[in-house]
Amino acid sequence: MEEEKILLSHGSGGKLSYQLIRDLFLSNFENNFLNRLDDGAILKFKDLNIAYSTDSYTVDPLFFQGGNIGDLAVHGTVNDLAMCGACPLYLTCAFIIEEGLPKKILEKIVFSMKEASENAGVKIVTGDTKVVNKGAADKIFINTSGIGIVKKGINISGRNARIGDIIITNGSIGDHGITILSEREGLEFKTSLQSDTAPLASLVADMLEVSDKVHVLRDPTRGGLSTTLNEIADSSGVEIEIDEDKIPIKEGVRAACEILGYDPLYLANEGKLIAFVSPEDSEKILKKMKNHQFGKESKVIGRVVQKSKGRVYLNTKIGGKRIVDMLTGEQLPRIC
Amino acid sequence: MEEEKILLSHGSGGKLSYQLIRDLFLSNFENNFLNRLDDGAILKFKDLNIAYSTDSYTVDPLFFQGGNIGDLAVHGTVNDLAMCGACPLYLTCAFIIEEGLPKKILEKIVFSMKEASENAGVKIVTGDTKVVNKGAADKIFINTSGIGIVKKGINISGRNARIGDIIITNGSIGDHGITILSEREGLEFKTSLQSDTAPLASLVADMLEVSDKVHVLRDPTRGGLSTTLNEIADSSGVEIEIDEDKIPIKEGVRAACEILGYDPLYLANEGKLIAFVSPEDSEKILKKMKNHQFGKESKVIGRVVQKSKGRVYLNTKIGGKRIVDMLTGEQLPRIC
């Protein structure tokens, strides 16, 4: 029998990632924090609720239109905390560097992290640096973990989607995925595209300020919008419906996807969120989002229709309806 | 002018690491938490003091006598929290895996992490998995971050060494470093050696139970005993004196060092701590330590003699006295 190996798809954020997490990590590390499968854990200390999250960043190339591995590493963890409804406060930062990396590359990355953390209102409070022999890593990998405070009464989780919930996104999807792909392949249309990498904590704070009926928040990174919606449908046991003609996709992204054969629904985003909110508050939440610099293009893209085993349907532009599954296989390794 | 590059020595835990941290990270990320240069940051939330730490593990080979990268990753972060005087509670765990890693290797590592975290009394509450293309990383790297609670009244820092303080270690030095080196080189004497990797939080809890006069705790990992003592001497502005004939070194480690030309004072340890304690409490702390499974071989190895710019002296066996500096260059890359 052939030995089973770890594949790129185990890190895609799609179906195989989900299986690996369930079969290996959850079964061994089992505890109530991990079992929620949210972007971070919520820890309780007396009357204090702390959100806690981690992510490693291995993006290739290190620098791309709209950002680099440094600000991505800050924004990514800030966003994971924000998706727990937390106000992010402190980050850790751990570098694994390949011997021979030009020092000025590291300096540029660190400077971006400084700026990104200042903009996001977080402090990098502790860190670690490992250097490995040439060839044992590709240039630089960064891990950030972060902690933030969840205010009393806030309970946001992928398990909380309810029938009738309105699904909102804060803007166009696929920008990050197509930008990285274009940079990597040296494609022509790259000039018109840039990554959407951005810190979303203050947008989330605005949303929570006007409503206590935000049920789910998730950032559709690896695996894209489709995978994220499937995870939520699965965790909450609901059926979700999204409308193809409502989903904002930039012309350049759409064109690149057509040429290259990618589906924007599966492309990674680094400055987007998906919110499930009560219908009675959806209008005021949407209005508040549109007033935020990272929410100007916010739109309702779908709704929760009924209880189910976790299905996501797309109402197509031509009037059809099709099931949208989690990402299977791997579209773009090292996208973040 | 030749371009400056990141060298293995920047990750050695020695002099160049220290310079990189001061010149690049502290100058950019400057804040009161980071500036302490302790093994973790101490965060204050109302009346709650939380210790927060991170480390990445890149050890080669993955499995060695006495442990593997998995338990090392748990113990390492548990120990960093313990060195802040904290009771470790929660860990994050982030994997960067090279495509093609046999799944059973990952399973073995995860199982070790499960056991190690249970033994250390911590929970792994959130995580991340990235898979990179073959050749972009060497098998697997693990990052753990951790948080723990620091009880009221406890104030342990590398800045707190005082004149007269007694320096205690909990056992022999160099075991981990020589074990990894032997495994890597396939040397003969490896059978008699094993890594000292162990969780030290309960040993620290015992020490803090009998005394409130523990001033400094530090685990001498990369860079070894000498580098750790130099960091403390520098942070506290004191002169330290250690006695060569008191420093416990196993016969096998000593022999290997002689053959290979290594100085045990610079070898990494993964289950050892250095404590600076008030002379009036040193006896009872030592007694308590000797009753703990990881403290049986505890010994006084030196003392703080006077204020200075941060010097460490070794009283040699033959009656001489020499300055012991930080590690310069790199002894063993990927030791942890």
DSSP count for chain A of H helices, then E strands: 9, 14
Chain A to chain B Cβ contacts (< 8 Å): 274
Cβ contact A25–B138 (<8 Å): no
d(CA A257, CA A12): 18
pLDDT beyond 80 at A2? no
Looking only at the bridges linking them, the beta strands covering A123-132 and A86-98 are parallel
Terminus-to-terminus CA distance in chain A, angstroms? 34
Cβ contact A102–B6 (<8 Å): yes
Give the residue from chain A lying closest to B97, CA to CA: A6
Chain A residue numbers touching B138 (CB-CB < 8 A): 132, 135-137
Cβ contact B54–A143 (<8 Å): yes
Cβ contact A130–B97 (<8 Å): no
Neighbours of B250 (CB within 10 A): 20
Q: B280, exposed or middle or buried, with CB in 10 Å at 0-12, 13-18, 19+?
A: exposed
pLDDT at B37: 81
Distance from the B111 Cα atom to the nearest Cα atom in chain A, whole angstroms:
7
User: What does pLDDT average to over chain A?
Assistant: 94
Task: List pLDDT tens digits, range B251-305.
Answer: 999 999 998 889 999 999 999 999 999 999 999 999 999 999 999 999 999 999 9
d(CA A254, CA A274): 20
Please report, for residues A38, A81, A89, A107, B184, the alpha-carbon distance to residue A209 in angstroms, rounded to integers and kept in the order given.
22, 17, 18, 37, 57
Q: What is the mean pLDDT of residues A238-262?
A: 94
User: Do B244 and B302 contact (CB within 8 A), yes or no?
Assistant: no
Cβ contact A97–B10 (<8 Å): yes
Cβ contact A96–B56 (<8 Å): yes
The partner residue sitting opposite B96, judged by closest CB among A52, A114, A141, is A141
Q: What is the mean pLDDT of residues A83-92?
A: 97
Give the residue from chain A lying closest to B10, CA to CA: A131
Cβ contact B5–A334 (<8 Å): no
Q: What is the mean pLDDT of residues A166-176?
A: 98
d(CA A255, CA B272): 59
Q: Which residues of chain B have pLDDT under 70?
A: 1, 188-191, 331
pLDDT beyond 90 at A205? yes
Domain assignments of chain B as residue spans, ordered by start: 8-150, 166-323
Chain B residue numbers touching A139 (CB-CB < 8 A): none
The class level of CATH for B8-150 reads: alpha beta
pLDDT at A189: 63
The partner residue sitting opposite A127, judged by closest CB among B25, B127, B333, is B25
Task: Tell me which fold the domain A166-323 belongs to.
Answer: Phosphoribosyl-aminoimidazole Synthetase; Chain A, domain 2 (3.90.650)
pLDDT beyond 90 at A332? no
Chain B residue numbers touching A96 (CB-CB < 8 A): 56, 58, 96, 141
DSSP of B114-181: HHHHHHHT-EEEEEEEEEE-TTSBSSEEEEEEEEEEEPTT----TT---TT-EEEESS-SSHHHHHHH
Cβ contact B137–A133 (<8 Å): no
Backbone phi, psi, residue B311, to 5°: -115, 150
Give the residue from chain A lying closest to B19, CA to CA: A129
- pLDDT band at residue A329 using 50, 70 and 90 as cut-offs: confident
- Cis peptide preceding B61, ω within 30 of 0: yes
Chain A residue numbers touching B98 (CB-CB < 8 A): 6
The partner residue sitting opposite A123, judged by closest CB among B33, B106, B117, is B33
User: Do A209 and A288 contact (CB within 8 A), yes or no?
Assistant: yes
Cβ contact B8–A123 (<8 Å): no
Give the residue from chain B lying closest to A21, CA to CA: B129
The partner residue sitting opposite A126, judged by closest CB among B4, B54, B132, is B54
Backbone phi, psi, residue B189, to 5°: -70, 5
Chain A residue numbers touching B126 (CB-CB < 8 A): 33-34, 40-41, 52-54
d(CA A85, CA A155): 7
**Of A15, A12, A9, A8, residue with least CA distance to A326:** A15
pLDDT at B260: 84
Q: Which of A128, A132, A336 to mutate to test the interface with B (most CBs of B within 10 A)?
A: A128
Chain A residue numbers touching B94 (CB-CB < 8 A): 54-56, 143, 145
Q: What is the mean pLDDT of residues A148-163?
A: 96
- pLDDT band at residue A1 using 50, 70 and 90 as cut-offs: low
The partner residue sitting opposite B128, judged by closest CB among A46, A55, A90, is A55
Cβ contact B6–A124 (<8 Å): no
**In chain B, alpha helices (H):** 15-20, 27-29, 69-82, 103-120, 175-185, 201-210, 224-236, 251-260, 279-290
ipTM: 0.96
| Tokens found for residue B69 | 């990268």
pLDDT at B192: 78
Task: List pLDDT tens digits, range A113-141.
Answer: 999 999 999 999 999 999 999 999 999 99
Percentage of residues in chain A having pLDDT higher than 90: 85
pLDDT at A190: 54
pLDDT at A191: 60
CA angle (A105 as vertex; A99, A109 as ends), nearest 5:
115
Cβ contact A147–B21 (<8 Å): no
Terminus-to-terminus CA distance in chain B, angstroms? 34
Q: How far is CA B31 from the centre of its chain?
A: 23
pLDDT at A39: 83
Task: List pLDDT tens digits, range A28-61.
Answer: 998 988 888 888 999 999 889 999 999 999 999 9
R_g (Cα) of chain A, nearest Å: 19
d(CA A126, CA B126): 19
Q: Which residues contact B188 (CB under 8 A, 6 or more apart)?
A: none
- The beta strand positions in chain A, using DSSP E, are 41-45, 48-57, 63-64, 67-68, 86-98, 123-132, 140-150, 166-169, 214-218, 238-243, 274-277, 299-307, 311-315, 321-323
| Tokens found for residue A319 | 């009037």
DSSP 8-state assignment for residue A125: E
Distance from the A296 Cα atom to the nearest Cα atom in chain B, whole angstroms:
30
Q: Is-same-fold flag (B8-150; B166-323)?
A: no
Give the residue from chain A lying closest to B77, CA to CA: A128
Chain A residue numbers touching B145 (CB-CB < 8 A): 54, 92, 94, 143, 145
